[in-house]
Structures are given as C-alpha cells and as structure tokens.
Amino acid sequence: MSKDFWKAGHTPTLLVSFLYFDLSFMVWYILGPLAIQIAEALQLSAQQRGLMVATPILAGAILRFGMGLLVDRFSPKFAGILGQVVVMLALGFAWLHGIQSLAQALLLGVFLGVAGAAFAVSLPLASQWYPPEHQGKAMGIAGAGNSGTVFAALLAPTLAALYGWENVFGLAVLPLGVVFVLFCLFAQNAPQRPKPKAMADYMRVLGDKDSWWFMFFYCVTFGGFAGLASALPGYFHDQYGLNAVTAGYYTAACVFAGSLMRPLGGALADRIGGIRTLLVMYTVAALLIAVVGFNLPQVNVALALFVGAMLALGSGNGAVFQLVPQRFRKEIGVMTGLIGMAGGIGGFLLAAGLGLVKQHTGNYQLGLWLFASLGVVAWIGLHGVKLRWRTTWGASNVTAARV
C-alpha cells in the first residue's frame, strides 16, 4: 500500500471495520462448519442440513438492506453497535438453553443473519473516509473480513469435538466482546457522510438498471463464495467421507483463498479496471466449478479446483465494490445494502440448492453445473453492458473502471 493511501483516510476506523467484519462473518458462518455435528445430533437429512446452513445467509441478505437504511439514516457506527449487541445476545441464549430441533437451529440462523448484515456497516464506515482513487483498496481491506469464515472453519469443528458443539456458541461471544469494545472506542463516522434520503430516493435507485446489474454480478461472486463456504463441509463429508474436523480444514483452505483475494481483487481492479478483472474472474470460476462437477474421485484434485474457484470469486467480490462507488457514491449506503442483499440471496440459493440436489439425485453434480452456468451468464451480461457504461459514466469514472 502507498503512503498516499494511508494518509488519505482514517486508519483506526479502517482497521476496526475489518475486525468488526471479520468476527461478524465468523459467527455468521458458524453453522456451516458445525453442520456435520449438528446434523448428526438432530438427525437431519442432507436437504435439512443445507437449509440450516443457508438460513443465516438468507437472513443476512434481507437484513443487509435494513442495515443499509440504518447506516444512511443514523450512522455506520450506530448500526454496527446495535448489530453486535443483537448477535452476542443470540449466541449467549443458544449456549445457555441449547438447540434441540431444526426449528431452533433455523431461528438461531435468523439472528446470526444480523452478523451477515455487518457487510452494510463496515464497507460504508471505511469507504466514506477515502477518495475515489483509493476506494478499491479501502473497500478491499474492510471487506477482507470474509476471512472470519476461515477461523470458523478451522476452529469450530475442533472445539465442537473437544467441548460439544453447543459450547462453541458461548466461546464465540468472547472474541466478539473484545472487538465490540475496540469498535466502540476507535471507529469514527466520516465527517462528510452522504445526507439521509427519503424512501422514495431509495426506490429510485432500484429504477436504475445499473443497480440490478451490480446486484446480479455480486449474486454470483459473493453468493458463490458464501454458498460454497457453507456447503463445502457437508460436500467433503458426503462426497469423500471426511470427518467433521478434516472437512473443516479442507473448507478453511478454500475460504482462506477467497478471503485473501478480496482486497487483492480490489487493488487489481484499481490497476487494470473493475470490469476487466470481473471478466477474467467469471471465466476462471465457471470453468473450475464445471470441472469439479464431474464428481472427481480424488479429493485433493477437487480441493485444488475449489481453491482456484474461490480465488476467482474473492477477486470478483473486490472488483464489484471497486466499481460501485464510481457509479453510486452518494447512495453508497443503500447500494451496499442492496448489493449485499443480492449476494446473500445468491449464497442462500447455492447452499440450499446443493443440499436439495444432493437429497434428490444422490450427488452434487447438477447443482455445481447450474452455478457454473450462472458464471457464464454473468460474463455475457457484463460484456454486454461495458460499452454503455463506458459512454455514460463520465470521463473520470471511465478511467477508474477501464472498460
């Protein structure tokens, strides 16, 4: 990172935005790594397990829109504090009273969706401090909180094996509490935040077809990342017979790759252009997912392909949000909520869909191929709109987008 970047914004806010996002994503995703142990304890089918791990994603998707409204109408810091309190209370209740049924697991998943809504807090909180030329890097660093999924995948199954999976919920409150204190102390709202808009203004954003394109593109990139992150523990267990801890390690390698590439994807988009970056990443992700869909007999080959696909999807996440402030800087709060909501819906459909496909066909092939097909559709759509974006965004934004 250049010295100009670190001088351009507010570093303490950027760093605590990352920590807030990181720990929020850890608990948002926590049912995924615990899915095998919970499913065995509650005697869940593959379809029910898929619904359980997908519920926090869907809840987070819906709540991101509401969190985006809170960010715009009050402030990112206020919305972040409120969200953290709700999540810690939900985890504490689940730890003290336990989870005895699928319905209770789904209810916990709904509350964990508040943690997924952290996306609509941390990105505006960080990005509003930075000028357009540093948006990709700032959004990438704050958005690298996706790495919280790595900690969940690595630690949750092991802790569950040692202390019981219900106690993992209580243990998760401890780091959340530390980050909550840091967030309260060091996060600061940008002095020049966009003014709150009326609901009619938000609806007008939905009338812009560019907003729908961004929502679809992120539905594929982040939806792919979140959906695979939640479904892969079950996939490695079902497809290759791995136990919960080993499946967690394999999944951690995949989600680490995607998390690592988010800030790098933003920086790459700053350098060569967000659209160009996305076109490459959709190509790579679709190809690798299509190949792994052939039910490869070697688990290590499947792992390598998933890692490559997650590298591409993570880069795509950073690239999308390098472009968003170029087009919707004044509406960044609501657009972050809308686009994040679309990404969460994509993740829910992928995670739940893979469980449904497994339940009714006996393997994951059709689900993986359908997702790869969406990558192809996204590539075609992006290639089709890039010329219009080049001629309508204005000269300064064309330079940033480099279409």
CATH code where residue 390 lies: 1.20.1250.20
H or E stretch at 159: helix 148-163
Most confidently predicted of 55-59, 124-128, 325-329, 383-387: 55-59
What average pLDDT does the segment 336-351 reach? 87
- Give a yes or no: residue 1 inside a domain: no
Let me know if residue 133 belongs to a domain. yes
pLDDT at 396 over 50: no
Assigned domain for 347 exists = yes
In a domain, 8, yes or no: no
Closest of 220, 161, 253 to residue 343, by C-alpha: 220
pLDDT confidence of residue 395: 43
Whether 204 maps to a domain, the answer reads yes
Mean of the per-residue pLDDT values of the chain: 87
Residues with Cβ within 8 Å of 192's Cβ and at least 6 positions away in sequence, in order, are: 128
Which of 223, 178, 205, 186 has its CA nearest to residue 375? 223
Is the separation of the CB atoms in 225 and 153 below 8 Å? no
Does residue 5 lie within any of the structural domains? no
- Report the percentage of the chain scoring pLDDT > 70: 88
Number of domains comprising the chain: 1
User: For position 398, what pLDDT does the model report?
Assistant: 43
pLDDT score for 399:
43
- The pLDDT of residue 230 is 92
What is the mean pLDDT of the segment spanning 26-49?
A: 94
Q: Within a domain: residue 4?
A: no
Residue 373 lies in a domain: yes
**Which whole number is the average pLDDT over 8-37?**
89
Which DSSP symbol is given to 195?
P
Full domain range(s) for residue 96: 13-401
- This prediction's pTM: 0.85
Q: pLDDT above 90 covers what percent of the chain?
A: 57
Whole-angstrom distance, CA of residue 207 vs CA of residue 34: 40
Identity of residue 27: V
